[in-house]
């Protein structure tokens, strides 16, 4: 093969590489709108495909006076990014000229180009090309490409690189438009939230005022009874207790969901059990079915238990005799929790109103349970829907993101005799299997016996927690006991502390979380 033929073959191979690079950049700009990802990838594609020494992308700042480096290849790029490298538009530099003139500038020998800026970070540069990033009449910045060889750029290089720059300019412009749209949406959302909070606060003040007024009247009557040595009227005490309960409930439902969720992989079925336990529903009343291969959900267990509590409390107040819960994975990497009851149901016109604060069909009810539940579900990037009809019960469906839970290695620890005080439920089965695999001897029971470590599930249907606490005290095991709760409360902490148990932990749902406790 002649040298000329070899050169033609090499040129053909280079043309193929350049077309592939241009195609790859085209795909990147249509799929990535995050400039912090797009720009470094574009720089790497240019250098890897063309074999150039350096490439960098500059974008104009808000004033339009300076082109600021946003992505650069290798150690020089990293050093300049850390230094906040920027060049003035129209200044004595290739980038300054290209952004000022809106034209490409090519220096095949930088020593002979008056506009070349001798950058101390790149002393080996012999050829440089600056390509403006332009959309319509708007200059967004420029791309610099540099080589250690003189006359390194062919006509094909210039053509394909300019095509890439044009594609990149469109992507950058689209990303800017998207950010502007997001800012506008955020401003609109803030305005709507402020409007909603103002309305809700006004309603809350009005509602609490109505509840507080009878309290002051009752207090005055009690004071009069005490002053005249009369027996205090039990109805006044009941009125005070009920009004105080309702006001505390308003506080919990208004302020509780506002906390930023601390999400982790959790077992949806166990959260349902915890909610049913908190409502006071018998275990036999709630039937839970979980489809095979259902993943954990990514959720804040305390907030999600509160949301499920509100739904089950509504079922109980609607005179439900049974509650059916079905949990299953969906095709879009979510988990659906369907809660159906056979209670009173509701009129069709109420199905939309129930999401508004202080709307309720029941007396002495805050009407905040479902609005609080909606807020929690929204914060978890989930959705919720309700379907109901009079005397036909209610179905609530909640879709939540599935958790990515890779299998983690068991943590090594000294083998212990562990007592698991729990019902025979799926979480207990997970705990038994995990702790046994970690080398511990584990016993599940609902009565207390000596052990090195006692794990007590707060959600305990088959035994009274007060009896368990008494047995722990009788066996002097409070110091070795950890109470596990999906939704720890101040009341629970105080209750267990009074019994000498000072370790209340979030219930673990992964191997690493559980073995860390042991």
- 188-238 pLDDT, tens digit per residue, is 655 655 565 555 555 555 555 565 666 677 777 777 777 778 777 777 777
Return the bridge partners of 68, or none.
Answer: 59, 86
pTM, two decimals, is 0.53
Domain spanning 417-517: CATH 3.30.420.40: no
Q: What is the CATH number of domain 12-181?
A: 3.30.450.40
d(CA 308, CA 294): 18
If you classify domain 266-401 with CATH, what class do you get? alpha beta
**Beta carbons within 8 Å of 365's beta carbon, 6+ residues apart:** 317
Over its length of 518 residues, how does the chain's per-residue pLDDT go in tens digits? 333 344 666 666 666 666 666 666 666 655 566 788 888 888 888 888 778 889 999 999 888 899 999 999 999 999 999 999 999 998 888 899 999 998 888 888 888 877 777 888 888 888 898 999 988 888 999 999 998 888 888 777 777 788 888 888 887 887 776 666 666 666 665 565 556 555 555 555 555 556 566 667 777 777 777 777 877 777 777 777 766 665 655 555 555 555 567 899 999 999 999 999 999 999 899 999 999 999 999 999 988 998 999 899 989 988 899 999 999 999 999 999 999 999 988 766 665 666 655 445 555 554 556 777 888 888 888 999 889 888 889 999 999 999 976 566 566 668 899 999 999 999 999 999 999 988 899 999 999 999 999 999 999 999 998 999 999 999 999 999 999 999 887 678 778 888 889 888 899 999 888 888 87
What residues contact 215, with CB distance under 8 A and at least 6 apart? 239, 240, 243, 244
**Same fold: 266-401 with 417-517:** no
Residue spans of the domains in the chain: they are 12-181, 199-257, 266-401, 417-517
For the chain, how big is the Rg over CA atoms in Å?
A: 34
Residue 57: which region, alpha, beta or left (left: phi > 0; alpha: psi -120 to 50)? beta
Which residues are CB-neighbours of 337 under 8 A, at least 6 positions away?
268, 272, 308, 325, 326, 327, 397, 398, 400
pLDDT at 1: 34
Instruction: Kindly give, in sequence order, each residue whose CB lies less than 8 Å from that of residue 154, ignoring residues fewer than 6 positions away.
Output: none
The closest alpha carbon to 301, from 338, 259, 342, belongs to 259
3-state per-residue secondary structure call for 261-314: CCCEEECHHHHHHHHHHHHCCCHHHEEEEECCCCCCEEECHHHHHHHHHHHHHH
pLDDT tens figures, 108-150: 888 887 777 788 888 888 889 899 998 888 899 999 999 888 8
Name beta bridge partners: 325: 288, 339
Chain centroid, CA 62 distance in Å: 31
The first and second tokens of residue 400, run together, are 């939540």
């Amino acid at each position: 093969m002649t040298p000329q033929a070899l050169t033609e073959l090499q040129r053909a191979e280079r043309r193929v590489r350049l077309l592939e690079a241009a195609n790859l950049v085209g795909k990147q700009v249509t799929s990535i709108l995050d400039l912090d990802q797009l720009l470094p990838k574009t720089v790497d594609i240019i250098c890897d495909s063309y074999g150039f020494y350096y490439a960098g992308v500059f974008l104009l700042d808000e004033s339009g006076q300076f082109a600021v480096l946003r992505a650069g290849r290798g150690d020089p790029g990293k050093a300049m990014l850390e230094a906040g490298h920027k060049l003035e538009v129209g200044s004595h530099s290739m980038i300054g000229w290209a952004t000022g003139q809106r034209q490409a500038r090519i220096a095949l020998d930088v020593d002979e180009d008056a506009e070349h800026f001798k950058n101390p970070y790149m002393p080996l540069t012999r050829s440089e090309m600056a390509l403006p990033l332009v959309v319509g009449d708007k200059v967004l910045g420029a791309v610099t490409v540099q080589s250690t060889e003189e006359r390194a750029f062919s006509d094909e290089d210039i053509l394909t690189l300019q095509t890439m720059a044009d594609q990149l300019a469109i992507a950058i412009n689209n990303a800017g438009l998207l950010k502007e749209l997001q800012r506008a949406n955020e401003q609109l959302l803030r305005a709507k939230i402020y409007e909603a909070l103002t309305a809700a606060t006004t309603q809350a003040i009005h509602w609490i005022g109505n509840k507080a007024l009878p309290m002051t009247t009752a207090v005055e009557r009690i004071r009069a009874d005490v002053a005249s040595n009369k027996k205090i009227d039990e109805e006044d005490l009941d009125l005070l207790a009920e009004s105080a309960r309702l006001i505390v409930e308003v506080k919990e439902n208004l302020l509780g969901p506002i906390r930023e969720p601390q999400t982790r992989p959790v077992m949806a079925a166990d959260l349902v059990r915890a909610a049913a336990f908190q409502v006071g529903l018998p275990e036999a009343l709630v039937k839970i079915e979980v489809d095979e291969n259902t993943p954990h959900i990514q959720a804040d267990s305390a907030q999600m238990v509160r949301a499920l509590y509100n739904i089950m409390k509504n079922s109980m107040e609607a005179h439900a005799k049974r509650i059916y819960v079905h949990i299953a994975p969906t095709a879009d990497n979510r988990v659906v929790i369907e809660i159906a009851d056979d209670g009173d149901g509701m009129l069709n016109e109420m199905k939309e109103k129930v999401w508004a604060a202080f709307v309720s069909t029941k007396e002495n009810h805050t009407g905040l349970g479902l609005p609080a539940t909606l807020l929690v579900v929204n914060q978890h990037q989930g959705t919720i829907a309700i379907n109901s009809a009079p005397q036909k019960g209610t179905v609530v469906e909640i879709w939540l993101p599935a958790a990515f839970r890779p299998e983690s290695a068991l943590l090594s620890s000294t083998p212990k005799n562990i007592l698991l005080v729990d019902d025979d439920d799926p979480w207990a089965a997970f705990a038994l299997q995990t702790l046994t695999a970690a080398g511990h001897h584990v016993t599940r029971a609902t009565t207390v016996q000596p052990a090195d470590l006692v794990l007590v599930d707060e959600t305990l249907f088959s035994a009274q927690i007060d009896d368990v606490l008494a047995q722990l005290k009788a066996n002097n095991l409070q110091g070795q006991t950890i109470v596990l709760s999906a939704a720890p409360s101040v009341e629970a902490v105080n209750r267990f502390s009074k019994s000498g148990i000072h370790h209340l932990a979030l219930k673990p749902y992964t191997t690493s979380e559980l073995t860390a406790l042991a």
